[in-house]
Structure 1
Amino acid sequence: MNNDLTKKIIGAAIEVHRTLGPGLLESAYQECLLFELKYLGLNVTKEVALPIIYKDLKLDHGYRIDLLVENKIVVELKTVETFSDVHFAQILTYMKLGKYPLGLLINFHTKLLKNGIKRFINTPQ
């Protein structure tokens, strides 16, 4: 089920990238990908607030997941020359804090979108 879901998300992202190309702001890709995913009938929420829970303390610091698909797959969008370790740490942290099993990091600033997609799995410890 999750593999089918990630294929749909990646397919929708490729459609957005094929239509718009690289060079736009992240927010433009976010809105268009949101549209495509909803068109496919998926439950998608954008800018999902993610508080930090530390012991008995809840910190609302404005961390936001770009897109959350079917309440299980975190989709983080970027428009950068290349991914950095900070981008990987960000999505892994979001997945851990929200207890989400899968994540996709998608960089729309690439000639071929397939070269700008990374899949992450949250392995509970």
Structure 2
Amino acid sequence: MAAILLKDESYKVMGALFEVYREMGCGYLESVYQECVILEFTDQDIPFASQTELTLKYKGHALNSKYIPDFICFGEIIVELKAVGSITDQHRAQVHNYLRATRHRLGIIANFGHHPKLEYERILR
């Protein structure tokens, strides 16, 4: 059986996301969950950067276009929040692109718009 990538760190991140869902439920805008997750990460001493611009490159040239993931936790885990009916291939592709741009290996999509529980996926590069 393969080891889980960044097991302890991702469990802490997921615990914080579950706590936000337990407290808030579904139905709010993504921006509301963004604020709640910031508070929860802070309360749980999870190191994070929020809304960090990622510089994209093409053949060694920096592009004006930027990617802005919702969070980078522990300096290694991309966390992308959604508040939609369900996670789609477009959301998965977005996280894959963030991983490629940062060279990180783990991304988590957390969808707070799903009922009756938080929908989430781990994305590996």
Q: Fold match, TM over 0.5?
A: yes
Match of 1:3 among 4, 7, 13: 7
Distance 2:64 2:36 in 1: 28
Deviations 1:56-99 (A, max 9, x none): 21013132010110110000000111111110100001001101
Question: 1:60 aligns to what?
Answer: 64
Stretches of structure 1 that go unaligned for 5 or more consecutive residues are none
Q: Tell me, in whole angstroms, the C-alpha distance in 1 between the residues paired with 2:6 and 2:97.
A: 20
TM-score by length of 1: 0.90
Divergent runs of 4+, >2 A? none
Q: Specify the alignment match of 1:71 in structure 2.
A: 75
Please give the secondary structure, in 2, of the residue aligned with 1:104. strand
Q: Kindly tell me the number of residue pairs found equivalent between the two proteins.
A: 121
Q: Is the 8 A contact 1:50 1:60 kept in 2?
A: no
Between stretches 29-38 and 16-25, larger displacement belongs to 29-38
Alpha-carbon distance in 2 for matches of 1:55, 1:91: 21
Q: Within 5 Å, which residues of 2 pair with 1:5-84?
A: 5-84=9-88
Of 115, 120, 123, the match for 1:117: 120
Relative distance call for 1:14 and 1:73 in structure 2 (3 A) is same
Q: Normalising to structure 2: TM-score of the pair?
A: 0.90
Percent identity of paired positions between Structure 1 and Structure 2: 32
Tell me how far apart the structure 2 counterparts of residues 79 and 111 of structure 1 sit (CA, whole Å).
Answer: 11
The runs of 5 or more residues in structure 2 that have no matched partner are none
**Mapped partners of 1:60, 1:70: distance in 2:** 27
CA RMSD, Structure 1 to Structure 2 (Å): 1.3
